[in-house]
Structures are given as C-alpha cells and as structure tokens.
Structure 1
Amino acid sequence: MNDAPGIAAAPAASSFCGDAELGYRRSLTDFSTPLRLDDSYRLAHLPLVAPEHPGVIARRADGFYEMGRHPRVFSLVLPVEDAALRASPAFVALEQDLKAAPFARKIAWDILPKRQDRLHATVCGSLGLDHPPAIAEETARALRQVGPFAVELRGLFSGNVNRGRLYLAVYPEKRGGRNMLQAAQAAFGRPPGDLWLVGLYNLVDDLDAAETAALADIVSRWWNEPLLRLTVMELQVMGACDDLVLDSAVETTLSLGA
C-alpha cells in the first residue's frame, strides 16, 4: 500500500489501455543510428544536468529559455511517489540494468535525489504562465465525476523528442471503453492525448553505437513489464521554472471523486 496522499495500490483486476491505443511505439527513439541529444533536450535539459557541455543551447531566440530556466509554467500532473517505485522489485531490477549498462557513466545520477519528491506525469501542460490558473468549479466538478482510476507504470521509454531523457510510460485504466487519463483531460477541455511519461533519467552526453544498442536492448526487454500499479485519487496543479521541475511547487490538488 502506498501511503502518499492521492495514491493507493491499484486493484489487480484493472484493465489498462494497450499499445495499439497509445502513442509509445510511434514516438520511440530510432535506435538504428547512435543516439544524439536533440535540440530540445540541449536547450531545456542539458543546461540543468551538464551546464559546461559544449552542446548546451544556452538560450532560445525569443528569450523564453535561459540556461534551462523559464518563466513559471503551471500544469496538471499525476504525482508518483519515489518511495513506492523503489519498493518495487521490478523497478529496482530495471535500475540495476541501467547501472550495469556501458552508458551508465553518462546518466546524471546526482539529479535523482533532487527530483525524488516531484516525480510526475503531465496530464495537461501549460495551464498558466507566471500566475497559477483559476480552476473553474465546472472543471473541478467534471474531474470529480471522473472518479479514481488505476494506472500502471512500465518502462523504460526513450522518445523521438527530448532525446537524452529516459522515462517510465504510463498506461491508464480503460473503463467502459474509455481511457481514464483522456477523461481527465476532457474535464479541462483538452483534446485526448496518448502519451504520458514519468521523466526519471537524464543523459549528459551523446551515446556511441554500442551504447545506443545497449539502451535499445534495455528498452526492448523492459517494454511491457509492469513496474508499479497505482490508483490515482487526485491530481495536482504544479508550477515550475524548468522542465526538470527542480524548483517546483504544488499550487493545488484536485480530487477525483467525492
């Protein structure tokens, strides 16, 4: 049982959306060539984990990003408790695989303790800039009507955007033919998404061919492996001035159900 607010162990009988309904396969890194940190990663992530790296993009032309930092952005997120992950034997085994990998020295292990109390998957991004969003009662009511739902974390995932970031993939409960994370998005008037990710690990350099093949092997072996199953009872509005949410704060919590 996970004692974190808003989270509980999910019942084993929950039915989850499958890959055919979600965007993970479509969005996977192309591992046929050595992995190179892409521009979005070099702008938003690399300055925070390896600021002296020559590949850092220090600022965006419009000034929004400056060494990985930006004005405070508020988003709706699904929180994940680090302690619950680390109590999962499957997750521990996955992390041991990463630590034994030939690219292990290129993972920013030192950033993990700084983020352990703010792990999350974004459900609705950019709800507000600089100032927290006002949540209409109609929106809060619609979210309560969604009710608690289960999610299963699986992994490892490396995408075709923000190459250099490694995630766990969120597989939401399917209830009455409905994807429950899409139901939460609909409460905010957002179009349905098909990709929800818990960012965990950051690379500090490109990978060579052998390292890329090793990462591809880990991704393949762990692709559909359940790491943690949770029942989500509330979501959070979180504000942060960087994409690793190192300075994040929870503005409010929104209940799912009565």
Structure 2
Amino acid sequence: MADAAPVFCPDGALAYDRSRTVFVPGRGLALDESYRLAHLPLVAPDHPGVIPTRENRYYTRGRHPRVVSLVLPVPQAHLAAAPAHAALERDLRAAPFAHKIAWEVAARRADRLHATLCGSLAVGPEAVPVLTPAQQAALAALGPVTVELRGLFSGNINLGRLYLRVYPECRDGIDVLAEIQRIMGRPASGLYLVGLHALTDDLDPAEAAFLAEMIDRWWDRPVLRLTVDALWLLWATDDQVLDGGVLAQVPLTGPTSRD
C-alpha cells in the first residue's frame, strides 16, 4: 500500500500572512533600512541609499563576521527543473521592475539556496557549532522531511528581497520544521523563507502595484515539492551567502557527517 501523501501546514499555523509586505495603493516600495545595510551594498554597491555601516550593527558594506546556521537546503537542479518555477521566473522577467532585479547575484548564489531554520549557531572565524548526541538522535528520529515551496513573497523587513515560502510537513498536527527548531533549543518561527531575488532600487507606484498583484496571484501556487534527508550547517560572511558554503551536512537519518 502506497504511503499517504504528506499534509502541509496551513497558512493559519504559519507566520506568512502576518509577516508579508503591506502595499499601499498609489505608493511605491522603498527599500528599508535593514535591506540598505545588509543587502543593497552587495547587489548595488554604488546606490546612494547604501548604508555602509551603523553603530552597534555588525555589517560593513554588507559583510559581517562569519556565522554558521542550520538550514534547509533547496537543490538548484530540482528548482530549475520545476515548470512552476520556470513560469514564475518568466513572470519576473516580464515585470516592469525586471531591470531592478539583481539577476547576476541570483546566479552566483544558486548552489546555496536554502531556508534558515536556526541562525547564528556559531560566530567567529573558526567557530563550529556542536550538536549534542541527544540533538543528533532526535533529528535522526525525524527521518526525511517533505516540504512544499510556494511563491512569491515579500516580507515586512528587508524590503527588497523576494522569496519562496516553505510549507512544512505536518505530522500529527506538528510542524516538522518547528520541531527541528525545538530540538535545537530555538523558538518556533513559523517563517521559512528561501531568498530568491534581490532588488537594486526602490519600486515606483506602478512597479509596486505589479509586485503586489504577482504575490497575490502566486500565493497558493505550489512551485516545488521536496523531500530532504539532510540539513546543512552553512557558513557565511554576508546575508546573501555570496561568501559562504556548506560546512557540514546534518542527516535526518543518522549521525552528523563532515564534508
């Protein structure tokens, strides 16, 4: 007998609705301070809105000390082969703001697509997070995790980033990605985002209205269903992960293995 199809968490159990961008009719979309500090220096370094650094913030022209996070990997080959993703990319390339998307940046980070589950587990040039035997055993007991990616999404912080939303498998009423966060001692976020594209400038009112319509039109459309049998410990020195890579894999079916 075939296994039952996975059931995914509904919007009501997740944080996407309350975290989405509020578009105001007749107004454009201004890149916010967080984005201009952490992302704009990486995608449009000569833009006058770039914030090079700020007191008590650890960014310098978009760079920060090395951090290691636990993330859900999204293989680029799977995404590229998904017809819905190709349709979404066609929509974006035909959008009136297409010239304000950093296409070349997306290409540079294609092999590091992910959704962060537990950020900054270790900080420092040589720091490596250590999973306890109990954590490794609990993650292994979960087994492979199935998720569904849907799009398009723009949040209420880091205005300028465009994402895919991850809908986790719901097992016995439990969000499996939230369970991973619990195992790692982190609070459940209900927000699992795959950074897809980055804007290089503010959007004017017509461009913002088009983006708002795109988000509504794509909200319930599945882009890719993915079963993941290992997480990544991903290191990075910027939030686009232009300078970064996989430090280790954390299998959901066995002990941690170093690359």
> What range is the shorter-chain TM-score in?
over 0.9
Q: How does 1:1-258 map to 2 (within 5 A)?
A: 13-32=5-24, 33-62=27-56, 64-130=58-124, 131-258=127-254
Distance 1:59 1:132 in 2: 26
SS at match of 1:25: helix
Gaps (5+ residues) in structure 1? Answer: 1-10
Distance 2:174 2:159 in 1: 31
1:141 deviates by 1.0
Percent identity of paired positions between Structure 1 and Structure 2: 56
1:60 deviates by 2.2
Distance 2:212 2:82 in 1: 23
Gaps (5+ residues) in structure 2? Answer: 255-259
TM-score (norm: length of structure 1) = 0.94
Q: How many residues align?
A: 248
Distance 2:22 2:213 in 1: 13
Distance 2:4 2:154 in 1: 27
AA in 2 matched with 1:167: Y
Question: Equivalent residue for 1:5?
Answer: none
1:240 deviates by 0.3
SS at match of 1:90: helix
1:46 deviates by 0.1
Contact 1:132 1:239 in 2 (8 A): no
Distance 2:30 2:217 in 1: 22
Distance 2:4 2:107 in 1: 30
